[in-house]
Amino acid sequence: MERIYKILPKYAFIPIISCLLLNSITYFGSRIFTTGMHHYDISIAIDRMLPFITPMVSVYVLAYVTWILGFIIIGRESKKLCYEVCSAEMIAKLICLVCFIMMPTTLTRPEITGTGFWNWLTSLIYSMDAADNLFPSIHCLESWILFRGVMRCEKQGTAMKIFMFVSAILVFASTVLIKQHVVIDIIGGVLVVEIGLFLAKKLNTKRIFYAIENKLGLE
């Protein structure tokens, strides 16, 4: 365990695991309520104009690696920042849960007829990830909140902050270019992050993790 703690401090485990658990509840649990409900297509004209570029699925998949990096950076920065960002993310995910249940969304995906690795990988993503729970985009939410968190890291230089920003923008593009999301989903993902960050600061929600830490005797 000591090796793990050198990568990620002990105090960071509960908030990060809490984020992962809430993500699963939000994404998968919401389907308990929405299965059989009418799903809305909120695509607009620009979505129909955007090309279908299957190689962008590489960015979509590699986003998971960037998220791991982002959580490690934020977790190592300081207890205060870790608790603030994770509580803000959880607020954003709860807003997503409400949106998923109150206004289920879907879209019509293009038929993939060609061959090649990128077409195969895009087809695999389609088969693993149903065309629902789209607004707000969790892919965009994760990329944006981790960028916003890393921007507050004093231990990180400009290069890493630029990298996280460029990664977030590329993830935004990938979601619409492989037709996993529509443009409004991106806007929604960014908006819930900003609401989450505002409320986390306003309500001082990091105190919840401090209370858990004191209760469990963590450092």
Can you give the residue range of the structural domain that contains 84? 23-34+53-216
Question: Would you say residue 48 lies in a domain?
Answer: no
Question: Would you say residue 198 lies in a domain?
Answer: yes
Residue-level pLDDT at 215: 83
Residue-level pLDDT at 76: 95
Q: Distance from CA of residue 185 to its chain's centroid? A: 12
Handedness of CA 79, 82, 86, 87 (dihedral sign): positive
Question: Would you say residue 127 lies in a domain?
Answer: yes
Question: Would you say residue 4 lies in a domain?
Answer: no
Question: Would you say residue 139 lies in a domain?
Answer: yes
Question: Would you say residue 40 lies in a domain?
Answer: no
Residue-level pLDDT at 149: 98
Using CA atoms, how far residue 137 sits from 11, 46, 74, in Å, is 28, 17, 22
Nearest-angstrom CA–CA distance, 75 and 83: 8
Question: Would you say residue 147 lies in a domain?
Answer: yes
Number of domains in the chain: 1
Question: Would you say residue 145 lies in a domain?
Answer: yes
pLDDT below 50 — which residues of the chain?
none
If you count them, how many residues does the chain have?
219
Predicted model pTM: 0.95
